[in-house]
Amino acid sequence: MSGMTVGFIGLGSMGQGMAGNLVRAGYSVRVWNRSPQPVATLVEQGAEAADGIAGAFAAEVVVSMLANDDIVEQLLLDPALLTGARAAVHMNMATVSPALADRAEALHTEHGIGYLSAPVLGRPPVAAAGELSILTAGDPALLNRVEPLLAAIGRRTWNFGTHPRQANVAKIAVNFLVACAIESMAEACTLTEANGISTIDLVEMLTNTAFPGPIYGDYGPMVAERRYEPAGFRLTLGLKDVNLALTTGAEGHVPLPFGSILRDTFLDALANGDAEKDWAAITDVSRRRAGLPT
């Protein structure tokens, strides 16, 4: 049993698998979640239910996996919480804005707590298998301290600098590229279907020739078959990440013209009731524009 205690905050579809891998690796893990059922599931696996968020911050290292900036701000950037915390390091593994990372780093430093960004690449089954790719940034000494935790959660870690915000920018860039790939596949499939060609045949050819790899291999069939449920990554989260890309670009005077198109596509999908579907559901926006049934 490892001597390091870990507080884990946020047991959504990704966090459950990540926390479970830490438990299986032998760590003493104290878990907290706003809804109780995921906590009960992790306790059955060997975790301990934390006594609130403060109980999680009583551990040596805190790992958080929350949905967005607002929730992180509300729950974790509380000066009273950080004043009473015994944690030495907080590693935020969610996709949040660089601006939020800057605020979090400054506030944690003020209270003597290290802050790291370590967003991940992969869907829930990948998280459960401990095969995530992890993008990190922050103090090298702190990253070295949490390296065993990262090894239990993912298959490989990629470092992007000494400032936590840098990992968040890298993750936002990745999700922007994935959204672009889904949109381009949706348009290509709509074009072929409108001309009497099987989208399934097209995607099979593409993923075995010009576009091999996990993004086209995973999302191509979802686009071709219009298979959007169960959602591995909800469409609302996709819009959040496109907006993060646009905001980050605007702050640095970096134009992202495709980002504006993607934002409107996601808004169209939301307006048509697809909020809880996988973000591959933006395919139906392309189909509606072409007059194809959805």
User: Does pLDDT of 1 surpass 60?
Assistant: no
User: Does pLDDT of 212 surpass 60?
Assistant: yes
Question: Running DSSP on this structure, what letter comes out for residue 32?
Answer: E
* Residue with the two structure tokens 């104290």: 30
CATH topology of 5-162 equal to that of 168-289? no
pLDDT at 2: 66
Residue 183 token pair: 């949109």
pLDDT at 201: 98
Residue 75 token pair: 């729950």
- Which candidate in 90, 171, 240, 277 is catalytic? 171
**Cα distances (Å, whole numbers) of residue 66 to 92, 144, 232:** 8, 23, 16
Pairing of strands 89-92, 114-117: parallel
CA distance 193 to 200: 10
Contact yes or no for 254/274 (Cβ under 8 A)? no
Longest CA pairwise span in the chain (Å): 65
The question of whether 277 is a catalytic residue gets the answer no
Give the neighbor-by-neighbor strand order of the sheet with 154-159: 120-121, 132-136, 154-159
* Residue with the two structure tokens 């095969």: 131
Determine the Cα angle at 269 with ends 265 and 275, to 5°.
Answer: 130
pTM above 0.85, yes or no: yes
Contact yes or no for 100/72 (Cβ under 8 A)? yes
Superfamily in which the 168-289 domain is placed by CATH: N-(1-d-carboxylethyl)-l-norvaline Dehydrogenase; domain 2 (1.10.1040.10)
CA distance 177 to 173: 6
Task: Name residues whose C-beta falls within 8 Å of residue 64's C-beta, 6 or more positions apart in sequence.
Answer: 8, 9, 10, 72, 76, 90, 91, 92, 93, 94
Question: Running DSSP on this structure, what letter comes out for residue 74?
Answer: H
pLDDT at 3: 78
User: How is the chain split into domains, by residue range?
Assistant: 5-162, 168-289
Per-residue pLDDT averaged across 243-247, rounded?
98
264-291 confidence digits (pLDDT tens): 999 999 999 999 999 999 999 999 999 9
144-189 confidence digits (pLDDT tens): 999 999 999 999 999 999 999 999 999 999 999 999 999 999 999 9
Contact yes or no for 239/270 (Cβ under 8 A)? yes
CA distance 294 to 286: 10
User: Does pLDDT of 205 surpass 80?
Assistant: yes
Question: Running DSSP on this structure, what letter comes out for residue 281?
Answer: G
CB under 8 Å, gap of 24 or more: what pairs does 32-36 form?
32/7, 32/8, 32/56, 33/9
CA distance 249 to 230: 31
Q: Which residues of 2-39 are buried (b: 16+ CB within 10 A; e: fewer)?
A: eebbbbbbbbbbbbbbbbbbbbebebbbbbbbeeeebb
pLDDT at 215: 96
SS3 196: coil
Fold for the domain defined by 5-162: Rossmann fold (3.40.50)
55-97 confidence digits (pLDDT tens): 999 999 999 999 999 999 999 999 999 999 999 999 999 999 9
Q: Which of 42, 78, 58, 61 is nearest to 118 (CA)?
A: 61
- What mean pLDDT value characterizes the chain? 97
